[in-house]
Structure 1
Amino acid sequence: MARKFLYVMAGLIAIVIAAAFAYRIWGNDLVRMAMVPGEAFEAQAATPESAYADKRMWLARPDIANNPAQWLPTGVQRTEPGAAAVFFIHPTSYLVRNHWNAPLDDAEANARAALFLRGQASAFNAVGEIWAPHYRQATFGAFLTTKADAQRALDLAYGDVTAAFDAFLAQIGPDRPIILAGHSQGALHLERLLRDRIAKDPALGRRIVAAYIVGWPVSRTTDLPLLGLPECTRADQAGCILSWESFAEPADPSLILDTYDASTGFNGQPRKGTPIVCTNPLTGTANASAPAGANAGTLFPDKDLTTAAITASRVPARCDSRGLLLIGTPPDVGPYVLPGNNYHVYDYSLFWANVRTDAARRLAAFEP
């Protein structure tokens, strides 16, 4: 199993290197051609909430063995988890164009998702028990096209997420404080969940300690007012939203911003040109700048990705005028930097220790 996993990771590295080379020559059009499925979307039955009573439908939950969200980097001591229940939606780990949605039993996609939980969801394991569902995620190429099938794929994935969220609520009970977090596609689904569920249920909204919509752009103008929670403006604020997208400099965010600018916000108005929510994870505040010395710890993985060292004072962060988080000179944190100096894969791990502290601070400030 370990050898197979290493083969998978070696293949991923080769894909990223080849994609970066091709991007430099042919640009965004080639990326879209290589990743967007050619087949038509295949409608599938909705997943019922009852399906998530099965432990096998979860990548992480308190009662499963080998929970990847319980991982800790070398040198970090495990503590008794806090009182919160954490609902974490993993990012896209299905990278092929065979289907618009990942089969739930796709071994490679599930292995990547578990790896993402280690570097992302683990930042929250001191504040409470973590629940992270399997779901029929849309493939990576769904984010590179305006085809109607892409939205159908995302809707199918979101249906699974909502079923899992209902099961999560039923199992944690009616009173526990909740932290919501996601990354990339998971953050997109979280944003919809806030609009559809949290904003429309004041009692549920009062239980939210914080919502981390990381690696997905949230428009301050067309989206934020409909999410039921305000943007976090203080480091000790509870009941608010944090969001950032990380780029080293010089940054080329065109692949992200082209899609964002072509989209419609939750209020029905175009997102084009609207400011993006940017929380600086080093300060826990909006539109802020902080030097590398404020970074309490970045994850630097070992070669086989089985563990990581945590090193402080290596990566700065500042929000730019559009709402992107710029991190200065490209740090060497691994081989998965995307075209345009996009450190999307590392949005959490660049600031792992600060996110961990941030969640604990907001939980301490939370008042039911």
Structure 2
Amino acid sequence: MKNRKLLIFFSLTAFIRIAFLNPCQAMPPLDLHTVPVAPDYALQESWLAKPTAPTAPVDVFFVYPTVLFNDTDWIMDTARPDMRAAAQITIDTQAAVFEGQANVYVPMYRQMNIAGLGLSDADAAPLHEIIHSDVWRALTHYLKHENRGRPFFLAGHSQGSMILTDLMLEHWGTTGAEAQLIAALLPGWSLTSADLAAHPAVRMCGRSDQTGCVISYNSVADGRQSAAPTLKSGALAVNPLSWSMDGAFVPAEKNLGSVFFDADGKAKTYPYFTSARIVAGGLVVRPENVDLLAVEGGHFPEGVYHAFDYSLFFLNLKANIAERIEAFRLKSSTF
């Protein structure tokens, strides 16, 4: 697995009211002898979502963002009910864009605490190995035992997008399932031109009906690109209001609806909520009401709307999932 510094940030919707965990806060010594047991993906309990009788013709393999932010655990214990409940929120508010369109598969994985940001590369390396290994084992299990030849999406956010991006860069082109990929929806992380040049099996989506490609973007206010920790230098982006990679301004009239969730999980839709334009690798947005993008305690710098990458474009994402499924169906002889 890749030995790269991990930038992991907590990414839920606005109703998760927490304070940002300072990476330098006191944590117990890192003891790899006390790491929670690895999930066995042959067991139903190792999956947060896995249908026993799939009904849709396509699947989504979704990897949840960081939900471990306490000051006691370097690695998530996937058997803990509170961790399962926290991860479930991301299914209800992010993976929900696939609702009614795809069978949803979500493995529990031993993700890394956000405090890992304060570790050196050498100290973090064994933790990186754990999180990447779990998701890779889950994905290979899914492809071998659950997929049964159906077209599928890969999807995630933040830490989940980072892991799937790394796994695609490392393994894509060797899995035998590449032709089944409808698209990889991986907002909240970055792919660069250098990444694509080094890994030609991975490519970005440049049209609304393109398949086998990656959708990546990081939502920010204008001028706040450098403040976004998940936005790498040289990052490429896809505009979810136009599905192109150019720098054209796309007005809010193209936004079918931003969707925000309250403390009870109830959704409220705001049509035409924001425009979008790709500038310096970031997806620059101009929300109609910036107060809706505030998280109590603020875990990201002002003007970095990482937690809302799905919410801001929710109905456009949902509509495009349907469009890409249809595009895949039209070109497939087996779908």
Q: TM-score range by the shorter chain?
A: 0.7 to 0.9
Q: Is 1:91 matched up with 2:95?
A: no
- Deviation for aligned residue 1:13: 2.1
Cα distance between partner residues in 1 of 2:29 and 2:16: 23
1:39-61, CA deviations, whole angstroms, 9 ceiling, x for partnerless residues? Answer: 2251548837xx21222111112
Q: Distance in 2 between matches of 1:81 and 1:278?
A: 33
Give 3-state SS (helix, strand or coil) of 1:163's partner: helix
Identify the residue that residue 116 of structure 1 maps to in structure 2. Answer: 90
Contact 1:224 1:231 in 2 (8 A): no
Q: Does 1:325 align with 2:283?
A: yes
CA change 1:333–1:109 in 2 (3 A) is: farther
2:261 aligned with 1:301, yes or no? Answer: yes
In structure 2, what residue type is equivalent to 1:42?
L
Q: Find the residue that maps to 2:259 and give its secondary structure.
A: strand
Residue in structure 2 matched with residue 248 of structure 1 by the alignment:
221
1:291 aligns with 2:291: no
Q: Displacement of 1:105 after TM fit?
A: 2.5
Q: 1:147 to 1:192 in 2, by over 3 A?
A: closer
The 5-angstrom pairing of residues 145-224 of structure 1 reads 145-201=119-175, 203-223=176-196
- Alpha-carbon offset, residue 81 of structure 1: 6.5
CA contact (8 A) 2:36 2:76 kept: no
Answer yes or no: is 1:59 the counterpart of 2:48: yes
Is it true that 1:39 corresponds to 2:1 in the alignment?
A: no
CA distance, structure 1, for counterparts of residue 121 and residue 228 of structure 2 = 16
Aligned residues of 2:14 and 2:293 also touching (Cα < 8 A): no
- Aligned AA for 1:297? G
2:322 paired residue among 357, 360, 363: 360
Offset of 1:226 from its aligned partner? 1.2
Q: What runs of 5+ residues in structure 2 fail to find an aligned partner?
A: 1-12
Report the AA paired with residue 260 of structure 2.
Answer: F
> 297, 302, 306: which one pairs with 1:344?
306
For residues 250 and 81 of structure 1, what CA distance do their matches in structure 2 show?
A: 45
Post-superposition Cα deviations, 1:326-367, rounded to whole Å, max 9, x if no partner, equal 112563335435223221111111111111111111111113
Shift of 1:314: 0.7
- Distance change >3 Å, CA 227–CA 189, structure 1 → 2: farther
Question: Within 1, Cα distance between the matches of 2:97 and 2:16?
Answer: 24
Question: CA offset at residue 86 of structure 1?
Answer: 0.7
RMSD: 2.8
Counterpart of 1:13 in structure 2 is 17
- Of Structure 1 and Structure 2, which has the larger fraction of its residues in helix? 1
Between stretches 130-139 and 143-152, larger displacement belongs to 143-152
Aligned mates of 2:71, 2:283 — CA distance in 1: 30
The secondary structure found in structure 2 opposite 1:131 is strand
The residue matched to 1:175 in structure 2 has which SS? Answer: coil
d(CA) in 2 for partners of 1:144 and 1:326? 28
- More RCO (CA 8 Å, sep 6+): 2
**Aligned-partner Cα distance in 2 for 1:173–1:300:** 31
Could you tell me whether the CA contact under 8 Å between 1:92 and 1:138 is conserved in 2? yes
- TM-score scaled by length of structure 1: 0.76
Aligned counterparts of 1:133 and 1:153: Cα–Cα separation in 2: 18
Distance 1:175 1:219 in 2: 30
Offset, 1:245: 0.8
2:218 alignment partner AA:
E
User: Partner amino acid for 2:224?
Assistant: A
Q: Structure 2: how far apart are the matches of 1:215 and 1:237?
A: 21
- SS of the residue aligned with 1:152? helix
- Paired residues of 2:42 and 2:141 also in contact (CA < 8 A): yes
The answer to whether the aligner puts 1:140 opposite 2:114 as a matched pair is yes
Counterpart AA for 2:292:
V
| Matched residue, 2:4 | none
User: Would you say the 8 A contact 1:93–1:110 is kept in 2?
Assistant: no
CA distance in 1, matches of 2:277, 2:14: 33
